[in-house]
Chains A and B, each alone.
Chain A
Amino acid sequence: MAEKTITIKATRFDPDKDSAPRLQSYDIPFTDEAMVVLDALNYIKAHVDGSLSYRWSCRMGICGSCGMMVNGTPKLSCSAFLRDYWPKPVTVQPLNNFPIIRDLVIDMEDFMHKLKSVQPWIIRKQELPLGAGEHRQTTAQIDEFKQFSQCINCMLCYSACPVYGLNNEFLGPAAIALARRYNLDSRDQGLTKRLPVIADSEGVWECSFVGECSVVCPKGVDPAKAIQQTKLDTTLRFTLPFGNRD
Protein backbone atom coordinates (compact mmCIF):
# COMPACT_ATOMS: atom_id res chain seq x y z
CA MET A 1 0.00 0.00 0.00
CA ALA A 2 1.41 3.37 -1.01
CA GLU A 3 2.44 5.71 1.77
CA LYS A 4 0.10 8.64 2.26
CA THR A 5 1.79 11.94 1.36
CA ILE A 6 0.89 15.60 1.50
CA THR A 7 2.30 18.58 -0.38
CA ILE A 8 3.57 21.57 1.57
CA LYS A 9 4.30 24.79 -0.31
CA ALA A 10 6.45 27.01 1.88
CA THR A 11 7.73 30.54 1.30
CA ARG A 12 11.48 30.80 0.80
CA PHE A 13 13.34 34.08 1.04
CA ASP A 14 17.00 34.80 1.76
CA PRO A 15 17.72 38.55 1.56
CA ASP A 16 21.31 37.86 0.47
CA LYS A 17 20.21 35.80 -2.51
CA ASP A 18 16.57 36.56 -3.34
CA SER A 19 14.97 39.81 -4.41
CA ALA A 20 11.49 38.53 -3.54
CA PRO A 21 9.92 35.58 -1.71
CA ARG A 22 8.98 32.49 -3.72
CA LEU A 23 7.13 29.28 -2.93
CA GLN A 24 8.91 25.94 -2.75
CA SER A 25 7.05 22.65 -2.88
CA TYR A 26 7.80 19.62 -0.70
CA ASP A 27 6.09 16.22 -0.64
CA ILE A 28 6.26 14.58 2.75
CA PRO A 29 4.83 11.42 4.31
CA PHE A 30 1.57 11.95 6.19
CA THR A 31 1.97 9.15 8.70
CA ASP A 32 -0.26 10.11 11.59
CA GLU A 33 -3.68 11.73 11.79
CA ALA A 34 -2.45 13.83 14.71
CA MET A 35 0.20 15.56 12.57
CA VAL A 36 0.11 19.34 12.41
CA VAL A 37 1.65 21.80 9.93
CA LEU A 38 4.52 22.30 12.38
CA ASP A 39 5.29 18.57 12.28
CA ALA A 40 5.41 18.83 8.49
CA LEU A 41 7.85 21.74 8.64
CA ASN A 42 10.01 19.88 11.17
CA TYR A 43 10.07 16.85 8.91
CA ILE A 44 11.14 18.98 5.96
CA LYS A 45 13.90 20.63 7.96
CA ALA A 46 15.21 17.39 9.46
CA HIS A 47 15.00 15.13 6.43
CA VAL A 48 14.48 17.09 3.22
CA ASP A 49 15.78 20.67 3.30
CA GLY A 50 17.71 21.83 6.33
CA SER A 51 17.70 25.44 5.18
CA LEU A 52 13.99 26.11 5.83
CA SER A 53 13.73 28.66 8.66
CA TYR A 54 10.74 29.24 10.96
CA ARG A 55 10.05 29.95 14.60
CA TRP A 56 8.57 27.45 17.04
CA SER A 57 8.95 26.29 20.60
CA CYS A 58 6.22 24.90 22.84
CA ARG A 59 4.11 23.10 20.18
CA MET A 60 1.06 23.39 22.46
CA GLY A 61 -0.37 26.78 21.53
CA ILE A 62 0.88 28.81 24.48
CA CYS A 63 4.22 30.38 23.49
CA GLY A 64 2.95 32.21 20.42
CA SER A 65 6.09 31.63 18.31
CA CYS A 66 4.69 29.67 15.38
CA GLY A 67 2.19 32.05 13.80
CA MET A 68 2.04 31.65 9.98
CA MET A 69 -0.41 31.99 7.10
CA VAL A 70 -1.80 28.52 6.38
CA ASN A 71 -3.77 28.54 3.11
CA GLY A 72 -4.26 32.26 3.49
CA THR A 73 -5.48 32.26 7.09
CA PRO A 74 -3.29 33.27 10.05
CA LYS A 75 -2.88 30.25 12.30
CA LEU A 76 -0.55 28.73 14.85
CA SER A 77 1.21 26.03 12.86
CA CYS A 78 1.23 23.79 15.95
CA SER A 79 -2.57 23.80 16.00
CA ALA A 80 -3.28 23.44 12.26
CA PHE A 81 -4.01 19.78 11.62
CA LEU A 82 -2.88 18.32 8.27
CA ARG A 83 -5.96 16.09 8.18
CA ASP A 84 -8.10 19.20 7.70
CA TYR A 85 -6.29 20.00 4.46
CA TRP A 86 -5.30 16.63 3.00
CA PRO A 87 -5.32 15.64 0.16
CA LYS A 88 -5.06 19.23 -1.08
CA PRO A 89 -1.67 20.96 -0.80
CA VAL A 90 -1.01 23.23 2.18
CA THR A 91 0.49 26.65 1.46
CA VAL A 92 2.50 28.02 4.38
CA GLN A 93 3.55 31.67 4.24
CA PRO A 94 4.90 34.22 6.71
CA LEU A 95 2.30 36.28 8.58
CA ASN A 96 0.72 39.02 6.48
CA ASN A 97 1.32 42.68 7.25
CA PHE A 98 4.84 42.23 8.59
CA PRO A 99 8.26 42.66 6.95
CA ILE A 100 9.78 39.28 6.08
CA ILE A 101 13.24 38.63 7.52
CA ARG A 102 13.76 35.14 6.12
CA ASP A 103 11.51 32.33 4.82
CA LEU A 104 8.65 32.14 7.35
CA VAL A 105 10.21 34.52 9.89
CA ILE A 106 8.75 38.02 10.22
CA ASP A 107 9.95 41.15 11.96
CA MET A 108 7.92 41.78 15.10
CA GLU A 109 9.86 44.71 16.53
CA ASP A 110 6.96 47.03 15.76
CA PHE A 111 4.74 45.08 18.13
CA MET A 112 7.39 45.08 20.87
CA HIS A 113 7.48 48.89 20.74
CA LYS A 114 3.71 49.17 20.74
CA LEU A 115 3.44 46.78 23.68
CA LYS A 116 5.79 48.93 25.72
CA SER A 117 3.97 52.11 24.69
CA VAL A 118 0.73 51.05 26.42
CA GLN A 119 2.62 50.62 29.71
CA PRO A 120 1.50 47.04 30.37
CA TRP A 121 2.27 46.94 34.08
CA ILE A 122 0.44 47.76 37.28
CA ILE A 123 0.56 51.51 37.87
CA ARG A 124 -0.35 52.69 41.34
CA LYS A 125 -0.36 56.11 42.93
CA GLN A 126 0.94 54.55 46.13
CA GLU A 127 2.70 51.17 46.14
CA LEU A 128 1.47 48.74 48.75
CA PRO A 129 4.37 47.57 50.93
CA LEU A 130 5.20 43.86 50.60
CA GLY A 131 4.61 43.35 54.31
CA ALA A 132 0.97 44.36 53.89
CA GLY A 133 0.35 41.20 51.88
CA GLU A 134 -1.69 40.93 48.74
CA HIS A 135 -4.28 43.35 47.37
CA ARG A 136 -7.66 41.76 48.01
CA GLN A 137 -9.27 40.82 44.75
CA THR A 138 -12.36 38.71 44.15
CA THR A 139 -12.94 36.15 41.42
CA ALA A 140 -15.55 38.51 39.97
CA GLN A 141 -12.93 41.25 39.75
CA ILE A 142 -10.56 38.88 37.97
CA ASP A 143 -13.32 37.90 35.55
CA GLU A 144 -13.52 41.55 34.46
CA PHE A 145 -10.12 41.39 32.78
CA LYS A 146 -9.42 37.66 32.59
CA GLN A 147 -10.30 37.27 28.92
CA PHE A 148 -7.91 40.03 27.84
CA SER A 149 -5.08 38.54 29.91
CA GLN A 150 -5.01 35.38 27.78
CA CYS A 151 -3.04 37.01 24.94
CA ILE A 152 0.03 34.99 23.95
CA ASN A 153 1.44 37.75 21.71
CA CYS A 154 1.22 35.50 18.66
CA MET A 155 0.47 38.37 16.27
CA LEU A 156 -2.27 36.52 14.34
CA CYS A 157 -4.60 39.45 15.05
CA TYR A 158 -2.20 41.98 13.50
CA SER A 159 -1.93 39.72 10.53
CA ALA A 160 -5.69 39.54 10.12
CA CYS A 161 -6.27 43.27 10.50
CA PRO A 162 -6.53 45.05 7.13
CA VAL A 163 -6.24 48.41 8.88
CA TYR A 164 -2.80 47.43 10.23
CA GLY A 165 -1.89 46.13 6.80
CA LEU A 166 -2.74 49.47 5.22
CA ASN A 167 -1.41 51.63 8.04
CA ASN A 168 1.48 50.37 10.17
CA GLU A 169 1.02 53.20 12.65
CA PHE A 170 -2.15 51.60 14.02
CA LEU A 171 -1.59 50.52 17.62
CA GLY A 172 -3.23 47.19 16.89
CA PRO A 173 -5.54 44.66 18.53
CA ALA A 174 -3.21 42.88 20.97
CA ALA A 175 -1.64 46.05 22.36
CA ILE A 176 -5.05 47.62 22.98
CA ALA A 177 -6.43 44.42 24.50
CA LEU A 178 -3.48 44.29 26.91
CA ALA A 179 -3.94 47.97 27.76
CA ARG A 180 -7.57 47.21 28.62
CA ARG A 181 -6.47 44.19 30.67
CA TYR A 182 -4.56 46.53 32.95
CA ASN A 183 -7.17 49.30 32.87
CA LEU A 184 -9.78 46.84 34.13
CA ASP A 185 -7.56 45.23 36.78
CA SER A 186 -8.88 46.39 40.16
CA ARG A 187 -5.31 46.81 41.41
CA ASP A 188 -4.32 49.23 38.64
CA GLN A 189 -4.66 53.00 38.78
CA GLY A 190 -2.92 53.86 35.54
CA LEU A 191 -5.82 54.49 33.13
CA THR A 192 -5.09 58.21 32.69
CA LYS A 193 -1.46 57.41 31.90
CA ARG A 194 -2.43 55.00 29.15
CA LEU A 195 -5.15 57.14 27.59
CA PRO A 196 -2.92 59.37 25.47
CA VAL A 197 -1.67 56.31 23.60
CA ILE A 198 -4.86 54.27 23.32
CA ALA A 199 -7.35 57.10 22.78
CA ASP A 200 -5.23 58.46 19.99
CA SER A 201 -6.17 58.68 16.30
CA GLU A 202 -3.70 55.85 15.72
CA GLY A 203 -5.03 54.06 18.79
CA VAL A 204 -8.57 52.77 19.12
CA TRP A 205 -9.97 55.38 16.72
CA GLU A 206 -8.09 53.93 13.78
CA CYS A 207 -10.07 50.71 14.18
CA SER A 208 -13.08 50.41 11.88
CA PHE A 209 -14.36 47.20 13.47
CA VAL A 210 -13.62 44.70 10.74
CA GLY A 211 -13.58 42.12 13.53
CA GLU A 212 -11.23 39.65 11.86
CA CYS A 213 -8.76 39.90 14.74
CA SER A 214 -11.19 38.21 17.09
CA VAL A 215 -12.02 35.55 14.50
CA VAL A 216 -8.40 34.40 14.21
CA CYS A 217 -7.35 34.77 17.85
CA PRO A 218 -6.41 31.25 19.07
CA LYS A 219 -6.98 32.10 22.74
CA GLY A 220 -10.40 33.77 22.55
CA VAL A 221 -9.09 37.14 23.71
CA ASP A 222 -11.63 39.01 21.50
CA PRO A 223 -9.47 42.11 20.90
CA ALA A 224 -12.24 43.64 18.74
CA LYS A 225 -14.42 43.72 21.84
CA ALA A 226 -11.60 45.30 23.84
CA ILE A 227 -11.17 48.04 21.26
CA GLN A 228 -14.86 48.88 20.87
CA GLN A 229 -15.40 48.90 24.62
CA THR A 230 -12.41 51.18 25.00
CA LYS A 231 -13.89 53.52 22.39
CA LEU A 232 -17.13 53.70 24.33
CA ASP A 233 -15.40 54.10 27.70
CA THR A 234 -13.09 56.88 26.53
CA THR A 235 -15.99 58.71 24.85
CA LEU A 236 -18.10 58.56 28.00
CA ARG A 237 -15.17 59.82 30.05
CA PHE A 238 -14.86 62.74 27.68
CA THR A 239 -18.54 63.63 27.36
CA LEU A 240 -20.14 62.88 30.72
CA PRO A 241 -19.90 65.46 33.47
CA PHE A 242 -17.29 64.40 36.04
CA GLY A 243 -16.35 61.62 33.63
CA ASN A 244 -12.69 62.50 33.57
CA ARG A 245 -11.84 61.30 37.04
CA ASP A 246 -8.75 59.28 37.88
Chain B
Amino acid sequence: MKAPAQAARAEPRAYRWTMPANWWTRNRHYFLYTVREFTALPMALWLLWLLYDIKSAGAGAANFQPPRSAAFIAFSAVCFLFATYHSYTFLKLAGVIMHVKVLDKTVPPRAIIITMFGLWALATVVIGAVLIGFAR
Protein backbone atom coordinates (compact mmCIF):
# COMPACT_ATOMS: atom_id res chain seq x y z
CA MET B 1 0.00 0.00 0.00
CA LYS B 2 1.41 3.32 -1.05
CA ALA B 3 2.58 5.58 1.76
CA PRO B 4 1.01 9.02 2.03
CA ALA B 5 3.13 11.46 0.06
CA GLN B 6 3.18 13.89 2.94
CA ALA B 7 5.31 11.66 5.12
CA ALA B 8 8.47 13.70 4.68
CA ARG B 9 6.85 17.01 3.83
CA ALA B 10 8.57 20.08 5.14
CA GLU B 11 7.10 23.55 5.36
CA PRO B 12 6.99 25.09 1.86
CA ARG B 13 9.05 28.25 1.30
CA ALA B 14 6.98 31.40 1.25
CA TYR B 15 7.96 34.09 -1.23
CA ARG B 16 9.84 36.85 0.57
CA TRP B 17 8.49 40.33 0.05
CA THR B 18 10.92 43.16 -0.61
CA MET B 19 10.03 46.86 -0.73
CA PRO B 20 10.70 48.27 -4.19
CA ALA B 21 13.22 51.14 -4.15
CA ASN B 22 10.69 53.45 -5.78
CA TRP B 23 7.94 52.73 -3.21
CA TRP B 24 7.59 56.41 -2.40
CA THR B 25 6.56 57.29 -5.95
CA ARG B 26 3.68 54.84 -6.09
CA ASN B 27 1.12 56.75 -4.13
CA ARG B 28 0.33 60.47 -3.72
CA HIS B 29 0.31 60.21 0.09
CA TYR B 30 3.68 58.44 0.15
CA PHE B 31 5.15 61.13 -2.10
CA LEU B 32 3.88 64.02 0.01
CA TYR B 33 5.13 62.25 3.14
CA THR B 34 8.62 61.88 1.62
CA VAL B 35 8.63 65.57 0.64
CA ARG B 36 7.60 66.48 4.17
CA GLU B 37 10.39 64.44 5.66
CA PHE B 38 12.87 65.72 3.07
CA THR B 39 12.15 69.35 4.01
CA ALA B 40 14.24 68.78 7.12
CA LEU B 41 17.42 68.56 5.03
CA PRO B 42 17.46 71.95 3.24
CA MET B 43 16.18 73.61 6.41
CA ALA B 44 19.04 72.12 8.39
CA LEU B 45 21.51 73.44 5.82
CA TRP B 46 19.95 76.92 5.94
CA LEU B 47 20.13 76.98 9.74
CA LEU B 48 23.79 75.91 9.65
CA TRP B 49 24.45 78.85 7.32
CA LEU B 50 22.60 81.09 9.78
CA LEU B 51 24.81 79.91 12.62
CA TYR B 52 27.87 80.63 10.51
CA ASP B 53 26.50 84.13 9.78
CA ILE B 54 25.92 84.79 13.47
CA LYS B 55 29.44 83.73 14.24
CA SER B 56 30.83 86.02 11.49
CA ALA B 57 28.67 88.89 12.74
CA GLY B 58 30.14 88.39 16.20
CA ALA B 59 33.57 89.19 14.78
CA GLY B 60 32.55 92.77 14.10
CA ALA B 61 29.78 94.75 12.45
CA ALA B 62 32.15 96.33 9.97
CA ASN B 63 33.30 93.05 8.46
CA PHE B 64 29.94 91.44 8.39
CA GLN B 65 28.47 90.95 4.94
CA PRO B 66 25.02 89.35 5.02
CA PRO B 67 24.62 87.17 1.98
CA ARG B 68 22.78 88.96 -0.82
CA SER B 69 23.29 86.75 -3.86
CA ALA B 70 20.21 85.79 -5.87
CA ALA B 71 21.01 82.13 -5.38
CA PHE B 72 20.94 82.51 -1.62
CA ILE B 73 17.66 84.43 -1.70
CA ALA B 74 16.13 81.75 -3.90
CA PHE B 75 17.41 79.04 -1.55
CA SER B 76 16.01 80.95 1.43
CA ALA B 77 12.64 81.32 -0.28
CA VAL B 78 12.50 77.59 -0.97
CA CYS B 79 13.43 76.83 2.64
CA PHE B 80 10.79 79.23 3.84
CA LEU B 81 8.15 77.40 1.77
CA PHE B 82 9.36 74.04 3.06
CA ALA B 83 9.26 75.29 6.66
CA THR B 84 5.75 76.61 6.21
CA TYR B 85 4.61 73.33 4.61
CA HIS B 86 6.14 71.27 7.37
CA SER B 87 4.64 73.47 10.10
CA TYR B 88 1.26 73.52 8.43
CA THR B 89 1.02 69.72 8.17
CA PHE B 90 2.32 69.26 11.69
CA LEU B 91 -0.09 71.75 13.23
CA LYS B 92 -3.00 70.28 11.33
CA LEU B 93 -2.18 66.87 12.72
CA ALA B 94 -2.07 68.27 16.25
CA GLY B 95 -5.81 67.74 16.33
CA VAL B 96 -5.18 64.05 15.86
CA ILE B 97 -2.18 63.70 18.14
CA MET B 98 -3.42 65.59 21.14
CA HIS B 99 -6.15 64.04 23.20
CA VAL B 100 -7.02 66.82 25.64
CA LYS B 101 -9.74 66.71 28.23
CA VAL B 102 -11.05 69.77 30.05
CA LEU B 103 -13.40 69.10 32.95
CA ASP B 104 -14.11 65.54 31.74
CA LYS B 105 -15.12 66.60 28.22
CA THR B 106 -12.85 65.90 25.26
CA VAL B 107 -11.78 69.04 23.40
CA PRO B 108 -12.83 68.71 19.74
CA PRO B 109 -9.94 68.44 17.23
CA ARG B 110 -10.92 71.67 15.45
CA ALA B 111 -10.45 73.66 18.63
CA ILE B 112 -6.98 72.19 19.13
CA ILE B 113 -5.95 72.97 15.56
CA ILE B 114 -7.20 76.55 15.72
CA THR B 115 -5.39 77.06 19.02
CA MET B 116 -2.15 75.66 17.58
CA PHE B 117 -2.29 77.88 14.50
CA GLY B 118 -3.12 80.80 16.74
CA LEU B 119 -0.09 80.14 18.94
CA TRP B 120 2.06 79.79 15.80
CA ALA B 121 0.88 83.16 14.48
CA LEU B 122 1.48 84.74 17.89
CA ALA B 123 4.99 83.26 18.13
CA THR B 124 5.78 84.52 14.62
CA VAL B 125 4.70 88.05 15.52
CA VAL B 126 6.57 88.08 18.84
CA ILE B 127 9.81 86.64 17.48
CA GLY B 128 9.60 88.87 14.41
CA ALA B 129 9.11 91.96 16.63
CA VAL B 130 12.06 91.01 18.83
CA LEU B 131 14.41 90.42 15.90
CA ILE B 132 13.41 93.60 14.10
CA GLY B 133 13.58 95.55 17.37
CA PHE B 134 17.12 94.35 18.04
CA ALA B 135 18.08 95.07 14.47
CA ARG B 136 17.21 98.76 14.93
Contacts and interface: CB of A to CB of B under 8 A. Distances in A.
A is bound by B: yes
Interface of A: 13, 15-16, 20-21, 72, 96-101, 107, 140, 162, 165-166, 208-212, 215, 222, 224-225, 228-229, 231-233
A51 B14 CA distance: 18
Contact of A232 (B13, B19, B33, B97): B97
Given A13-B15, A99-B17, A166-B19, A211 B33 contact: yes
8 contacts: A16-B12, A96-B17, A100-B14, A100-B15, A100-B17, A101-B12, A166-B19, A210-B29
Which 8 pairs from chain A and chain B are nearest by CB? A99-B14, A228-B97, A100-B15, A15-B12, A165-B19, A210-B33, A225-B96, A229-B99
Contacts of A98: 17
B99 A212 contact: no
Contacts of A212: 27, 29-30, 33
Interface in B65-99: 93, 96-99
A162 B14 contact: no
Interface of B: 12-17, 19, 23-24, 26-27, 29-30, 33, 37, 93, 96-99, 104
B30 A15 contact: no
A25 B15 CA distance: 21
Given A16-B12, A98-B17, A232-B99, 18 more contacts: A15-B15, A20-B15, A96-B17, A99-B14, A100-B14, A100-B17, A107-B14, A162-B23, A162-B30, A165-B19, A211-B33, A211-B93, A212-B27, A212-B29, A215-B29, A229-B96, A229-B97, A229-B99
Contacts of B30: 162, 210, 212
A72 B26 CA distance: 8
A210 B27 CA distance: 12
Contacts of B98: 229, 232
A89 to B, nearest CB: 18
A117 B124 CA distance: 45
A228 B93 contact: yes
B17 A228 contact: no
A13 B14 CA distance: 10
A232 B23 CA distance: 29
Nearest to B15: A100
A127 B115 CA distance: 42
Contacts of B97: 225, 228-229, 231-232
Given A224-B96, A232-B97, A99 B15 contact: yes
Given A72-B26, A210-B29, A228-B97, A15 B14 contact: yes
B37 A208 contact: yes
B11 to A, nearest CB: 10
A72 B28 CA distance: 12
Nearest to A143: B106
A228 B15 CA distance: 33
A16 B14 CA distance: 10
A165 B18 CA distance: 7
Contacts of B13: 15
A107 B14 CA distance: 8
Nearest to A11: B15
B131 to A, nearest CB: 30
A98 B19 CA distance: 10
